[in-house]
Structure formats: C-alpha cells, structure tokens
C-alpha cells in the first residue's frame, strides 16, 4: 500500500481513511476521488484529488494508471436506507462501480479492498454470534448488492488472482463526517442531538440490537487487513468484524453517565426498523481475530466519552 487510490472518499469512512493514510505515508500517497469536489473540504485540500464517477470505467482506469497506484480502495456506494428508497440507483451504483473497480484492479494488478456489511445478512441468518460462514439471504437492495459484491470479489480472486480483501462493517460511529443514510445512523445522530438539545428521538425501537464500531477501530481494521500476510488468510470477502452490540437504551445509559440529564424518546421509522430487524443482533469476529489479528480498542463507554468530548467543540462552533 505505497500508493492508494480511494473512491467515494468524501463519505464517512473515506474522509477518515484518507486522512490516516496521508498521515502515515505522506499527502501524495493517496489519490482521493469522489463524484463531487467541495473546494474547502480537508480531503480535497490535503493532497491529490480527482473528480470521478465510479460508473465511468475509462476515467477510473486513467486516474489509476496516471498515478501509478498499487492499491485500490473502493468505497463509493449507497447505504441501506437510501438504497431502499432508490433500489435501481443502488444496484447501478453499488454493482456498476464495483465491477469497474475490480476490472481496474485486474488490469493493473492492484491490491483491492471494498467493504461489505452486516447488511449482507438476512432474517433467516442466525441472529446471535452470527458465524463467518452462514446463510446470507438479505431482504434489502443494499444487502443484495453487498452479498453480490462479496461473491464477485471472491470470484476475481480465484479466477483472476486479484488480491481482494474485505470486511463486513457493523454500524460505524464517528464525529468528523456524517454517514449518508444508513440504518445504524441513529447511533451517530444521538451524540449530536445530546450536545445540541440534551435529548434525542430514536427512529430505531427499544430492544433492537445491532453491531457497532468506533471509526478509529474501523480505520485500523482496514489498514491491518490490507497489510496482513496473504498466506494466513483463509477467508477474504468479507470478514465479520465488530466491537460492540447494543440497543438504543444501552447507548442512552452510556450518554447519561457523562450527561445525567440526557433523555431519549422514540418515533420509530417503519422502513429502517424493518431493515434493522432483518440484521443480526451480534456477529462473531473470530476469523478476523485469528487470520489477521483484528482487535478493536473502544467499547461503548470509551466511545461515548471520546465522541462527546470531540463533538463538543464542533457543535459549539456550529
């Protein structure tokens, strides 16, 4: 991973991954790309940046070639709630972009990473301690694209020898960039609203457990997996990873340890609740731990303290 091209780099994961890789390897080590170019954005300003629509294969190939990249990290995709509202667009973007990115990786012999998700599981998947290898019959368009993506990445590895690697991310919680329309977003929104209003109205129902992870652990996981010895990888696309599993009342109690006056009510969104109900309560990350040493640092309370601390200044500054 000396020179990395990242697609969708203005999203929740991309903005932090690009920053971390540039901090580790220098500003020119990352060619950041996204479909838009907001001029005052730190990702745009901190190193090379190209405007790219991932459905444009020729342009993607050209950028990778011109910059002599050795790794492609493909992040551009629609998240679950948006994908459910615009299923055709989600299929075209999530699958079209992925096929193009895999073809670029094959053509230029690049290492390759793309994220899958807890959304790749469905209602008949074992709900608790969900195994690495299990039933995957998702009922959302997001999930359909994620399972198809896992299979396609495995295919490019076995058929063409492309070094594809991936993880099934749980809900990711971060304070720098907001997620763009996922089901687990309540666990991000809650911290902003706690600081702004002292209360939060949850669109996910009490008692709904989902896996979650704090962004620094997610970024570490991507870098660790990409640097892992390929001989130790039994699996590739995609590893279960998680740092915690909680329901809305757990995160409320965690915030109340720092802000005792914080209060939460519910106004459940039926669409996102249906999606959440189709996902596991908690997945088993044993294979990721054994095959490449996945080891998250943050539990719920450590994440809450850090989120509230870091977000305070941003919320105060407006």
Site for ligand SER, rule CB under 6 A: 79-80, 117-119, 142, 169, 171, 182-184
Give the angle subtended at the CA of 42 by the CAs of 311 and 308, to the nearest 5°: 5
Minimum separation from the CB atom of position 134 to ligand SER (A): 17
CA distances from 49 to 5, 8, 75 (A): 10, 11, 15
Q: Please, which residue, 183 or 254, has the CB nearer to ligand SER? A: 183
Q: Which helix (H) or strand (E) holds 73?
A: strand 71-74
Which residue, 7 or 29, has its beta carbon nearer to ligand SER?
7
Smallest separation (angstroms) from ligand SER to the CB of 272? 8
In the complex, the smallest distance separating the C-beta of residue 184 from ligand SER, rounded to whole angstroms, is 4
Backbone angles phi, psi at 145, to 5 degrees: -70, -30
Q: Which of 140, 163, 154 is nearest to 79 (CA)?
A: 140
CB of 30 to ligand SER, least distance (A): 23
Q: Taking Cα atoms as reference points, which of 3, 139, 154 lies closest to residue 69?
A: 3
Assess contact for 250 and 300: CB atoms under 8 A.
yes
Q: Is 23 exposed, middle or buried (0-12, 13-18, 19+ CB in 10 A)?
A: exposed
Task: Provide the 3-class DSSP secondary structure of residue 93.
Answer: helix
Considering the complex, state which of residue 71 and residue 174 has its C-beta at the smaller distance from ligand SER: 174
Q: State the minimum distance, in angstroms, from the CB of residue 212 to ligand SER.
A: 9
Name residue 6's beta-bridge partners: 32, 73
From 57, 142, 155, 175, active-site residue: 142
State the Cα–Cα distance between residues 246 and 62, nearest whole angstrom. Answer: 44
Residue 100 CB, shortest distance to ligand SER, in Å, is 21
Active site residue 142: yes
Closest alpha carbon to 14 in 74, 69, 64, 72? 74
Q: Looking at beta carbons only, is 47 or 182 nearer to ligand SER?
A: 182
Query: Which CB sits closer to ligand SER, 29 or 120?
Result: 120
Q: Which is nearer to ligand SER, 1 or 187 (CB)?
A: 187
Nearest residue to ligand SER, by Cβ distance, number only: 182
Q: How far apart are the first and last CA of the chain?
A: 37
CA distance 11 to 179: 7
Q: Is 88 exposed, middle or buried (0-12, 13-18, 19+ CB in 10 A)?
A: exposed
Catalytic machinery residues: 142
């Amino acid at each position: 991973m000396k020179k990395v091209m990242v697609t969708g780099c203005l999203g929740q994961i991309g903005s932090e991954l690009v920053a971390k890789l540039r901090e580790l390897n220098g500003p020119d080590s990352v060619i950041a790309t996204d479909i838009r170019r907001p001029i005052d954005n730190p990702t745009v300003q901190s190193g090379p940046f190209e405007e790219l629509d991932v459905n444009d294969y020729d342009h993607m190939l050209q950028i990778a070639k011109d910059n002599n990249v050795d790794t492609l990290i493909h992040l551009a995709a629609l998240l679950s709630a948006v994908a459910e509202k615009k299923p055709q667009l989600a299929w075209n973007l999530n699958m079209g972009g992925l096929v193009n990115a895999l073809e670029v990786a094959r053509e230029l012999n690049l290492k390759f990473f793309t994220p899958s998700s807890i959304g790749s599981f469905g209602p008949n998947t074992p709900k608790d301690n969900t195994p690495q290898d299990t039933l995957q019959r998702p009922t959302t368009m997001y999930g359909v694209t994620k399972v198809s993506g896992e299979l396609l990445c495995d295919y490019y590895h076995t058929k063409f020898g492309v070094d594809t690697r991936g993880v099934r991310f749980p809900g990711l919680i971060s304070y720098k960039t907001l997620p763009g329309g996922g089901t687990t977003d309540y666990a991000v929104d809650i911290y902003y609203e706690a600081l702004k209003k002292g209360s939060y109205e949850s669109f996910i129902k009490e008692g709904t457990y989902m896996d979650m992870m704090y962004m620094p652990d997610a970024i570490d996981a991507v870098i660790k997996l990409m640097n892992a010895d390929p001989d130790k990888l039994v699996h590739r696309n995609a590893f279960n990873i998680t740092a915690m599993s909680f329901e809305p009342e757990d995160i409320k109690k965690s915030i109340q340890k720092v802000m005792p006056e914080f209060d939460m009510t519910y106004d459940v969104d039926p669409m996102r609740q249906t999606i959440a109900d189709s996902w596991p309560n908690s997945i088993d990350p044993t294979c990721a731990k054994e095959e490449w040493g996945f080891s998250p640092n943050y539990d719920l309370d450590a994440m809450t303290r850090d989120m509230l601390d870091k977000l305070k200044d941003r919320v105060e500054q407006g």
